[in-house]
Structures are given as C-alpha cells and as structure tokens.
Amino acid sequence: MERRSFVRGAGLAGVLAAGAAPAIVHAQANIRWRMASSFPRSLDTIFGAGELFCKKVGEMTGGKFEISIHAGGELMPAFGVVDGVQQGTVEMAHTAPYYFFGKDPTFALGCAIPFGLNSRQTTAWMYEGNGLKLMREFYAGYNIINFPAGNTGTQMGGWFPGGEIYQSLEKGTIDAAEWVGPYDDLKLGFNKVAPNYYYPGWWEGGPQLDIYVNTKAYEGLSKEYKAIIENAASHAHVDMQARYDAKNPEALRQLVAGGTKLHRFPKDMMDAAFKEATALYNELSGSNPHWKKIYPDFAAFRREQNLWFRFAESSFDDFMQAQKL
C-alpha cells in the first residue's frame, strides 16, 4: 500500500499508533523537569534569568515542556547544584561557574577570573571563539552540558566600613562585603552598614552565568526540544545583561543621594593585583591540565579583544562619559 493511501485510510491516530511517525510523538512529549538555582528569589535580576528561561521553554513548547525553578536551599544547597546535576538529582541548574573553583579552578574560566574578559568579550569567546567548545569538553567530565544564560557586566568592588576596623577585627566581624552592583546592593541594604563603595570589581569584569543540564537527560530530548533549550538560554543571557544595564544607573543615583561615597581602587593596588593574578595563572598552567588546555586560548582571545576595544569602543565610551548630556 502506498504511504499516502495508508495515511489517508488509517488517519493520523492510526499512524501514530502504528509508530509510523515517532519523531512527531517524541517532539510533542510532555516533559517535567526541575531546575536548581544558586540564587534567592529576592534577586529578580539573577534568579529572574532562570525564571525567564523556564518561561520561554514553556511558551515555545505550548506548555508541553515544563521546568520548575527552585531557589538555592529549596532542593539542595546553593553550592550543591553541580553535584545535583552531575548525579541526576535534578535535570538542570542555573549558577555562576566560579562558585565551584574548589572542585577545579577551570570552572572559573566559564564565568570570570581577575582581569579577564568583559561581558561582551566573554560572549564573543563563547559563541564565536573556542570558549563554549572548550568548556563543554571540560564539563563532560562532570556529566554536564552548559549553555550561557546571563551576565552581570563589570561588577562593583564592594562596600567597606569607614571606621572601627580594629573593633571589627577583634570581634571577628567582616570589614567588607561585595555582591554585584548598585541594583542588587541597594536591595540587599549594604549601604546601611558600610558607607564606602569601591569600583571596579576587577575580579569580575564580565561574569557569565550558565545553565547546566545533565548530559543523559539532555540527550534524551528531541532535536526540537534541544533547540528550544539553546534558544531560551540565549534569550535569558541577553535579557539579564539588559536588565542590569537598565536598572543600575537609578540605583547608583539613589545610593549616592543617601550618602554613599564612591571610590576608585588605586592604580598601584590594581597593578599589584594584576601581577599576582598573572603569576597564579602561570602556576595553574603548570599544575592543572584542564586549565593548561583552556587558559592559553582564553588569554589569546583576551589579547585580541583588548587590541580592538582600545580603539573604537573605549575611545567612544571615554568621550561620551565626559559629556554633559
């Protein structure tokens, strides 16, 4: 019997029942996954990127692929998400890779290292350089496939007490705190306990967040659902940076109006930090084979990016920021 006659005679239901269109069945299967976030729900920028990803996956599948997101501590500790995904306890996680530096310093190359790449350069290395390829080869050892899913942009350098340093040390309390930047810091209330706000966060020039997916779970998806995950992650990646860029200026204005004092880190301090960071990277290249494989490519890409940004990008920014608009 000809296929066309068979379809017409049996109807679509009969075709599906006979297994003649398995790709269609697979693509439209109802799936329920869980995502463990490393962030609290109160931070709508960072936690919100994971929420947006889950929302977009649902929208693009007509609700057939549903992912519930859970804040840090709900399903597992905030810093336990790599273990959770690796072991298949959850199918996905949304996190900052450098949280897992203790497992292997190479994790940080997927997020941010001192004096690394800014957010645009990080995205360029991931999508157009070798970044995504190299990091996925590394993550394969953890049963994980990663997707870029957010960036804060260059962060601030932190909040420091103006006095009572000796008393703080004596009591064992901290002298400084650092999170991301004005919008989040205002929400967290750091300005209520420390008056001095330093910049830039030279250890986080462009920290990228990732969505981690359990490899076995990912490979079990249809081709269509894999594409949807990739595209939903890219959407969340762009949106998170846009939200920070839009919200930080007003938050910084509010902080300064409330008495916060802005300070730029001294150049000699940053020069010393740069020297020490470079020495550390050289040490890691001599002791860690994963780092040795990825860092030279990262460093070469950074060198080329700085060559370009030094001209058009930086000169335009310098001029515009000096204007009274």
Structure tokens at 139: 């993550």
**pLDDT confidence bin for 193, thresholds 50/70/90:** confident
Q: What average pLDDT does the segment 217-224 reach? A: 97
**pLDDT confidence bin for 10, thresholds 50/70/90:** very low
Please, is 15 exposed, middle or buried when counting C-beta atoms within 10 Å of its C-beta (0-12, 13-18, 19+)? middle
Q: What is the pLDDT of residues 88-105, one digit of tens each?
A: 999 999 999 999 999 999
Reported in sequence order, the residue ranges of the chain that DSSP labels E, i.e. its strands, are 31-37, 65-70, 92-95, 144-151, 158-160, 196-199, 208-214, 261-264
Mean pLDDT for all residues in the chain: 90
Q: How far apart are CA 57 and CA 89, in angstroms?
A: 21
All structural domains of the chain, each given as residue ranges with its CATH number in brackets, are 26-321 (3.40.190.170)
Q: How far apart are CA 42 and CA 21, in angstroms?
A: 45
Cis peptide before 161 (omega within 30 of 0): no
Q: How far apart are CA 103 and CA 82, in angstroms?
A: 10
What sign for the dihedral angle of Cα 291, 292, 297, 302?
positive
pTM of the model: 0.87
Q: How far apart are CA 212 and CA 38, in angstroms?
A: 12
Please report, rounded to a whole number, the percentage of residues in the chain having pLDDT higher than 70: 87
- More confident of the two residues 136 and 20: 136
Q: Does the pLDDT value for residue 150 go beyond 70?
A: yes
- More confident of the two residues 81 and 22: 81
Which backbone phi and psi does 179 adopt, to 5 degrees? -125, -90
Q: What average pLDDT does the segment 158-168 reach? A: 68
Widest pairwise Cα distance in the chain? 90
Q: What average pLDDT does the segment 193-206 reach? A: 94
